[in-house]
Amino acid sequence: MRIRWLGRLPYGEAWDLQRAFHEGRANGRSSDDYLLLLEHPPTYTIGRNGDETHLLADDALLRELGAELFHVDRGGDITFHGPGQLVGYPILALPEARQVVPYVRRLEQALVGALGDLGVAAWTEDGYTGVWTDEGKVAAIGVRVSRGVTMHGFAVNLDTDLGFFEHINPCGLARPVTSLVEILGRKVSHEEFIDVLVPWFVKVFEVDEVEEQRAAFVRGTGRVFDVDERMLNIQPSEQVVVRGRLAGEPPRPDWMKVKAVMDDSYLDLKKLMRSQSLNTVCEEAGCPNIYECWGSGTATLMLLGDTCTRACSFCDVKTGKPGEVDIFEPLRAAEAVAQMGLKHAVMTSVNRDDLQDGGAGIFAQTIEEINRRLPECDVEVLIPDFKGDKEALEIVMAAKPTVLNHNTETVLRLQRDIRTAANYGRSLALLARAKWHNPAGLVKSGLIVGMGETEGEVLGALADLRAVGVDVVTIGQYLRPTRRHRPIDRYVHPDEFDRYSAEGKRLGIGHVEAGPLVRSSYHAREAVAAL
C-alpha cells in the first residue's frame, strides 16, 4: 500500500485525482492500493442519495462562506470538508468476500483505534456510519465501491471550524458534531493524527507492505530570487565545460561534463530565434544539452515572455512582473518551426499566474498555427499547472497536441520547498485530466534529482505517475544555476538512473528517459517514436 499525505487540495482536483487512481487500480494499470490523505478548502458534498433539503445555505451564503458545493458519487448524505479536517480516500481492491458494509466497519475500526491512542473514547453506532464520542460525531464516512475498488472514505475533525456545520443537517442527523480540539482541549495536527492512524489502518486492513510519502509544509531553503546570471555569454570559438563548479558544491563527476561546440547549425538557429524575437527555454533555463540539440536543428520555444510569476528554487528563468501578452507570438513561433522543418516541435512557457487563463489560449493558438503550416509535425507542449483550472487545460487539449507534458519536478516531500505555488496532487490531477481529454494522445512528466530526495521517493513518484496514466517520464540531474539557487545535494550516479528506467519499465510506463543530462524535451521525438 502506498500512503500519500498530499496536504491541502481543492475538492474538485482531489475528486479527479481519486478517479485517476481508482481507474488505474480497477483496470490493472497499477497493482498498488493507495491511501490518499488530504485537507480541503471549505466544501459541502451531497452523496448520490442525499437530500438537498439538508443543505441550509443558499448560493449567496455559500459565496459568503467561501465554500463550494459538489454532488458526488459516494454513499451517505451531506457533509462538510474544510481546513482543520483530515480527509482520507482509500483506493483499495477489496477481496471478493468483503462487501461494502464490512469495508465500512473496518474504516470505523481504524478510526476508533487511532482516536483511542490519543486518549479519546470513541465508538460506532448500529444503523449509522461514522465515529462518535460523548461530545458528538467526530468522524464521517461515505464510500463508493466500483469494480471491486473503493473511492471516497472518511473525514476526521481535528480543529475544524464547527460553525460550517450549522449550515447543514449533517448526514440527516440532528445531533452535534465535535472535533478533537473540543474534546482534548489542544490542537492535534494532521501529522500527529496520521502517525496514529496509519498503524491502525495497516493492522485493520492486514497490509503486508507500506510505502509512505508525505508533503513537507515547513519552508526550507526556498527563497525568492531575481536571477540575472546567464550561462550563454561565451564566444563562438570557445570550447568550455558548461557551468563551472560553484563554491561549496560537491566535485563535478566526469559524466556531468559537456563541451560547448558552436557550429554553423547552432549559430544559424540562434539567429533565427533572434530574428523572430522568440525565447527558448534552452537559453533561459541554461540547459546543458543546448549545443547538441541546437546543433541538430531543434529547440524548445518558450512562449509568453521570459519572466515568470513564480520563483522556484531550482529554476534559472527570471522571476518578476511579466510584460503584455504578444498576440502575434504564435504566428512567429509557427514560422520558426516551419523554417526549421521540424518533425517534432516542443513549446513551453513561463508561469503566467497574472493571466485569467494562465496563457492557455496562446498555447492553443501556437499548436493550431503549427498544424496549419506543418500538418505532419508533432507538437509537444510543456505546460504550467494553470492553478488547477480545468477550463484552461481544456483550451490546450482542444487544440490536440501530440504530447501534453507537465513536470512534477520533484518528490512529494520536497514540493513546497522547491516548487513555488505548486502542488503534487494538483500536478497528478492535471496529468490524469489530460489523459481523459485525449486517451489516444501521450501524457508526459519529468523529475529532477539531486535536490535532497531519496531513491525510494523517486521510485514512489514513478508509481504515482503510472497510476494516473502517464506515458512518458524524463528524469535528469539538477544543476545549480547560481549561488542564489538551491544547492546541489548530490550528483546521481548513472547506475541509479538505469535503475529508474528499469523500474519505470516494470511499472508499465511506456518510455522513461533517465540520465544525468536529461531534460524535459531531451530526445522528445525519439520518445514518441519509441511508443
pLDDT of 420 reads: 80
Whether 231 is covered by a domain: the verdict is no
Q: What are phi and psi of 332, to 5 degrees?
A: -70, -35
Domain membership of residue 203 as a residue range:
2-214
- For the chain, give the mean pLDDT: 87
pLDDT of 238 reads: 31
CATH number at residue 283: 3.20.20.70
Same domain flag for 305 and 449:
yes
Same domain flag for 165 and 63:
yes
Whether 346 is covered by a domain: the verdict is yes
pLDDT of 219 reads: 32
Residue 218 has pLDDT above 60, yes or no: no
pLDDT of 490 reads: 94
pLDDT tens for each residue of 452-478: 999 999 999 999 999 999 999 999 999
Same domain flag for 201 and 283:
no
CATH number at residue 135: 3.30.930.10
pLDDT of 245 reads: 53
Confidence of residue 98 (pLDDT cuts 50, 70, 90): low
Residue 448 has pLDDT above 90, yes or no: yes
pTM of the model: 0.88
* CA gap 437, 14 in Å, rounded: 17
Same domain flag for 353 and 447:
yes
Same domain flag for 139 and 277:
no
Whether 153 is covered by a domain: the verdict is yes
pLDDT of 197 reads: 98
Residue 227 has pLDDT above 60, yes or no: no
pLDDT of 95 reads: 87
pLDDT of 76 reads: 86
Same domain flag for 268 and 182:
no
Mean pLDDT to the nearest integer, 310-325: 87
Whether 245 is covered by a domain: the verdict is no
**Which of 214, 245, 265 finishes a domain?**
214
Residue 281 has pLDDT above 90, yes or no: no
Mean pLDDT to the nearest integer, 349-375: 95
pLDDT tens for each residue of 43-73: 999 999 899 999 999 999 999 999 999 999 9
Same domain flag for 267 and 190:
no
Whether 466 is covered by a domain: the verdict is yes
Grid cell of 392 as nine digits: 484552461
Whether 48 is covered by a domain: the verdict is yes
Whether 247 is covered by a domain: the verdict is no
Instruction: List Cα–Cα distances, 400 to 340, 403, 443, in angstroms.
Output: 22, 9, 12
Same domain flag for 301 and 173:
no
pLDDT of 246 reads: 59
CA dihedral for 468, 471, 476, 480, sign (positive or negative):
negative
Same domain flag for 155 and 298:
no
pLDDT tens for each residue of 508-517: 999 999 999 8
Domain count, the chain: 2
CA-based nearest residue to 464, from 448, 439, 445? 445
Q: Between 222 and 183, whose confidence is greater?
A: 183
* CA gap 113, 68 in Å, rounded: 32
Whether 239 is covered by a domain: the verdict is no
DSSP letter, residue 244? P
Lowest-confidence region among 54-58, 312-316, 392-396 = 312-316
Q: Which residues of 376-399 are buried (b: 16+ CB within 10 A; e: fewer)?
A: ebbbbbbbbbbebeeebbebbbeb
Residue 262 has pLDDT above 70, yes or no: no
Instruction: Classify burial at 356, counting beta carbons within 10 Å of its beta carbon; exposed 0-12, middle 13-18, buried 19 or more.
Output: exposed
**Which of 192, 214, 236 finishes a domain?**
214
Residue 240 has pLDDT above 50, yes or no: no
Residue 242 has pLDDT above 50, yes or no: no
Those residues whose C-beta lies under 8 Å from the C-beta of residue 328, and which sit 6 or more positions away, are none
Mean pLDDT to the nearest integer, 400-405: 96
pLDDT of 155 reads: 98
pLDDT tens for each residue of 103-153: 999 999 999 999 999 999 999 998 889 999 999 999 999 999 999 999 999
Question: Is 146 strand, coil or helix?
Answer: strand
**Which of 214, 245, 269 finishes a domain?**
214
Same domain flag for 153 and 16:
yes
Same domain flag for 208 and 278:
no
pLDDT tens for each residue of 409-424: 999 999 988 998 899 9
**Helix locations, 341-492, DSSP H:** 360-373, 390-398, 415-418, 424-437, 455-467
Same domain flag for 153 and 281:
no
pLDDT of 102 reads: 92
Residue 184 has pLDDT above 90, yes or no: yes
CA-based nearest residue to 427, from 7, 30, 35? 7
Mean pLDDT to the nearest integer, 268-286: 64
